[in-house]
Amino acid sequence: MLPPADAPTEVVEAIAKIESALDDVVNHGSDDELFIASYLQGHFAVESRQLEMQQDATLTLLNTKMCNSLESAFANNELEAEDAKQVRALWERLFSQVNQ
């Protein structure tokens, strides 16, 4: 069982919404969408879990950490350019949905 989150409720709820949206893509998406969502999900799991333990967590900090994590991976050529573009686009869409 996970320890209780220290982050503000707004951040914890946003993380849960993004996780749910990623799960929906994994469960119902095409093979390409599944690959993109699964890749993003790996990065999101690492960054969001760390952030949930921070009392000063914000949605801006979540976005910054995710963008830095993805850019670092892309700089190491973990994905083809088109796949990286799709991962970025999915992250931007998911983040904008919770940051309105």
For residue 87, being part of any structural domain is answered with yes
- pLDDT for 67 beyond 90: yes
Q: Taking residues 46-60, report their average pLDDT.
A: 95
- pLDDT for 39 beyond 70: yes
- pLDDT for 3 beyond 80: no
For residue 1, being part of any structural domain is answered with no
Percent of the chain residues topping a pLDDT of 90: 87
- pLDDT for 59 beyond 80: yes
The angle formed by the CA atoms of residues 49, 52 and 55, to the nearest 5 degrees, is 150
Structural domain harbouring 27: 9-98
For residue 2, being part of any structural domain is answered with no
Quick: pLDDT tens for 73-86.
999 999 999 999 99
Q: Taking residues 1-29, report their average pLDDT.
A: 87
Q: What is the pTM of this model?
A: 0.91
CA 95 to chain centre: 8
Q: Which stretch of DSSP H or E encloses residue 72? A: helix 59-75
pLDDT at res. 74: 97
For residue 84, being part of any structural domain is answered with yes
Q: Tally the domains of the chain.
A: 1
Q: Which tokens in the block code for residue 19? A: 């996780």
- pLDDT for 2 beyond 60: no
For residue 17, being part of any structural domain is answered with yes
